[in-house]
Chain A
């Protein structure tokens, strides 16, 4: 029996000790074994060996996972839970039995198809839709249920959408700044800050040429592997040469760093070696001189920066001269944003966000003048909507530069 096609050695490497439980956001808010990594692995084993069928509870249990991979970092045996979950979702995506039959669920599946196939990979469509959304927000046409206060898309601004990155696209520079899909539409000022910091270190920066519109992370997390692979190839083509690739979105950076596994080619592995998180890259290059701002910043570690890229400490080196840094006391527990998770599993996402908010408040993040820093666009949106003043490390560093941006 090999129904899900999982790697047998990966699957048996869980000894069931349970040390992952407190690091799992869905277990923390539900207390259910099936919402824990250990329970999910047990369920995968049961399906894989034919003991249990692929049924709705199994599909739900797999889809409720945020894929934060906090369990992986906590696992003494190094169980590659991320692989297991991605492979399981890819198998479910191909399995007709796991498809919903009810009308509402099929409509939802159709909408997801449009999102994954039409909007995310086509940047012009995404930008056009963002302008439409901005207009709708201004005209108060967006129902409260989907408004910025209720974990919907953020409140868009004209100046944000109009921000220009004045660098060559597709031409060779000393480094690439990967811009991506949603972040480039909704948070372009962050890209601008990253660009200014990189330029302050004396680099000529280029952004990807046409085709490198989306890294495919959301597709891979959803089990849409063929689409993820297609997007990965396009991203690789959009940034040729040997120049390092700087990514200011922790989720995208983690995805780019894993192209080697996704595509299984030497070219992809070589490409992944060129990828750096923004903070990681700037720290390696030498942080430009900063002045002490006297401001306090509570550091939020995006899961894919901390648990997947394992480069979260760089943010602290980056900002420690300019800011008073405070850590949360929750071992980097997830905020529940999880890429598309906040849209696909809104109830669980909100409960997880409430837990994260409590940890941030305990660290003083709700005090006047205190900022939260987050290196991932999804987390930033989630925490902004929870009421915190959130900035990207690139923005914080840019604002503390002694020389100021050119």
Chain B
């Protein structure tokens, strides 16, 4: 039997984070919520999650910096999905350049996020 996958959700918007956490938990994932980049760092130091879902705009430590940190400093291939507000193409492009696996724009559709998360985790499982 597969173990429950852990998703690290990094978003400073409490309401949205709570909603997405609820949805992801309902989808069968264990969710760790971090409200800013510092918390993310602490959390990553503790344990590497199966996936990271991060907003680009966060206090102290932006989503781009988080990507850079995970890919370059930690050297982890953990799939990362970036949440960005619409019309922020530059950030999205740089996120992909730094190794983001997927991107979802705000306003977020929780159902869509769930599908993307599942897809990315499946890719990892298959060994894409």
Answer yes or no: do A and B interact. no
